Amino acid sequence: MQLTLKVTTDQTTYEVKTNLYVIIAWERKFKQKASNLASGVGLEDLAFMAFEACKVHGITVPAVFDDYVKRLVNIEVVSDDETNPTEGAPTLDH
C-alpha cells in the first residue's frame, strides 16, 4: 500500500508518498491494522502518515507531531497506489 498525500501548511504545499515503513509506524501508534483503512481514514491518520513520510524522505518537520499538526491547513489523498495491481484480463483483440 502506498499513498500520495498532498499537504498544505501555513507556508507551503507539497506531495509526499508513504511506504511500508510509514504504514507500519501508523499501525504501531494507533494499534490498528492497515486493512482497517478501507473502512475510513481520519485526518489524524493522514497527518501522522504525512509526518512520518516527510521524515523518511528528508523533508524537515517539527520534532513533535502536534507541532506539525498545528501548521497544517489541509491534507488529502491524491492517489492510492496498490502495491500489487492485477493485470487486465485478456480479450479477443489483445
Average pLDDT over residues 22-35: 94
Least confident span in 12-16, 23-27, 87-91: 87-91
Task: State the cell numbers at 89.
Answer: 484480463
pLDDT reported for residue 38: 84
Average pLDDT over residues 9-14: 95
User: How high does pLDDT run on average in the chain?
Assistant: 88
Q: Which residues pair with 9 in a beta bridge?
A: 72
33-75: pLDDT as tens digits: 998 888 888 999 999 999 999 999 999 999 999 999 999 999 9
Q: Dump the DSSP string for 30-92.
A: HT--GGGGGG---HHHHHHHHHHHHHHTT----SSHHHHHHHEEEEEEEEEE-SSPPPPPP-S
- The pLDDT-based confidence of 90 (bands split at 50, 70, 90) is low
Q: Residue 39: what are its φ and ψ, rounded to 5°? A: -85, 0
